[in-house]
């Protein structure tokens, strides 16, 4: 019972933390995605052909939705932890009798709530620009949840590893941003030269976005089952790493 109360309280705290500044944490990312859509669709709609019977604007929408989910799940868990460490308030999270598993779940689930809220906001806002189909909605749910959980876990890792905001910014600018922007959000990898197609297959975020997009259109650059295999393995490995760091108290306990 105490364990469940601790998890519920920590989860509620994390959700409330971003919800109270929703203009910054939810509305702003939706606006950013809208700007990407307006600029890229206006500039490339008549010049880029991706899939038969699918306009470039429609192709962009799922990628922007998933990119928003991934970036915001990472931002939520990582920023919460680094802020708590820098201000010293992390001690109030570590002192209560809550297990490392409950700690992990609370941060990841709260980050998922924010990421999915932003994703839904982006999807609703972009319906004015391109009608979407939901060919296989189960894939949308699976990749949305798994992809968000992976980036939320990576955010926990980054928040634990970083000792100051500069280090966290380095992690985000040199890892998260390149992985998400070079993952097929704005293009199909089949339009790339063979070498860069091969490089893209080593990017796990590509499989998250490609599988997520398959749920809308029923077509994708690779099989959704292949994407699911890669994404599931990434989740297992990353969650195991995160739980190990939390169990050992790495950079959290003196």
Distance CA 215, CA 225 (A): 12
- pLDDT digit string, tens, across residues 216-241: 999 999 999 999 999 999 999 999 99
- Find, among 234, 206, 235, 237, the residue nearest to 222 by Cα: 206
- pLDDT digit string, tens, across residues 99-154: 999 999 999 999 999 999 999 999 999 888 888 889 999 999 999 999 999 999 99
pLDDT for residue 53: 77
Dihedral over alpha carbons 200, 203, 208, 212 (to 10 degrees): -10
pLDDT for residue 46: 64
Domain boundaries along the sequence of the chain: 2-248
Where helices occur in the chain by DSSP H, the ranges are 2-19, 22, 28-44, 56-87, 90-94, 100-126, 137-161, 165-171, 177-181, 194-200, 204-217, 224-248
* 185 contacts 63 by C-beta, under 8 angstroms: yes
- Find, among 32, 123, 25, the residue nearest to 78 by Cα: 25
Using pLDDT thresholds of 50, 70 and 90, give the confidence band for residue 52: confident
For the chain, percent of residues with pLDDT exceeding 90: 69
Longest distance between any two alpha carbons in the chain, whole Å: 59
pLDDT for residue 160: 95
Using pLDDT thresholds of 50, 70 and 90, give the confidence band for residue 162: very high
**Residue 4 clears pLDDT 80, i.e. is over it:** no
pTM: 0.93
Distance CA 229, CA 213 (A): 16
* 176 contacts 74 by C-beta, under 8 angstroms: yes
Cα-flanking dihedrals φ and ψ of residue 80, to 5°?
A: -65, -45
- The residue ranking higher by pLDDT, 56 or 65, is 65
* 107 contacts 156 by C-beta, under 8 angstroms: yes
Residue 235 C-beta-side C-alpha neighbours within 13 Å: 19
Distance CA 227, CA 153 (A): 19
**Residue 194 clears pLDDT 60, i.e. is over it:** yes
Task: Give the residue-averaged pLDDT of 198-202.
Answer: 92
* 156 contacts 104 by C-beta, under 8 angstroms: yes
* 37 contacts 124 by C-beta, under 8 angstroms: no
């Amino acid at each position: 019972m105490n364990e469940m109360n601790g998890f519920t309280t920590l989860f509620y705290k994390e959700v409330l933390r971003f919800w109270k500044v929703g203009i910054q944490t939810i509305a702003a990312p939706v606006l950013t995605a809208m700007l990407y859509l307006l600029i890229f669709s206006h500039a490339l709609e008549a010049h880029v052909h991706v899939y038969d019977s699918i306009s470039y604007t429609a192709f962009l929408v799922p990628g922007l939705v998933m990119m928003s989910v991934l970036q915001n799940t990472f931002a939520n868990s990582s920023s919460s932890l680094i802020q708590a460490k820098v201000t010293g308030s992390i001690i109030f999270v570590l002192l209560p009798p809550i297990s490392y598993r409950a700690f992990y779940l609370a941060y990841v689930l709260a980050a998922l709530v924010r990421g999915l809220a932003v994703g839904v906001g982006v999807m609703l806002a972009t319906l004015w620009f391109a009608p979407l189909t939901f060919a296989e909605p189960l894939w949308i749910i699976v990749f949305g949840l798994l992809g968000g959980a992976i980036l939320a876990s990576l955010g926990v890792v980054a928040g634990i590893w970083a000792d100051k905001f500069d280090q966290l910014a380095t992690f985000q600018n040199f890892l998260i941003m390149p992985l998400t922007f070079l993952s097929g959000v704005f293009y199909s990898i089949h339009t790339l030269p063979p070498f860069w197609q091969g490089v893209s297959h080593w990017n796990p975020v590509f499989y998250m976005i490609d599988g997520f997009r398959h749920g809308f259109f029923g077509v994708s650059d690779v099989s959704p089952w292949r994407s699911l295999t890669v994404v599931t393995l990434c989740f297992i490995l990353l969650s195991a790493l995160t739980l190990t760091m939390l169990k050992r108290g790495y950079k959290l306990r003196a």
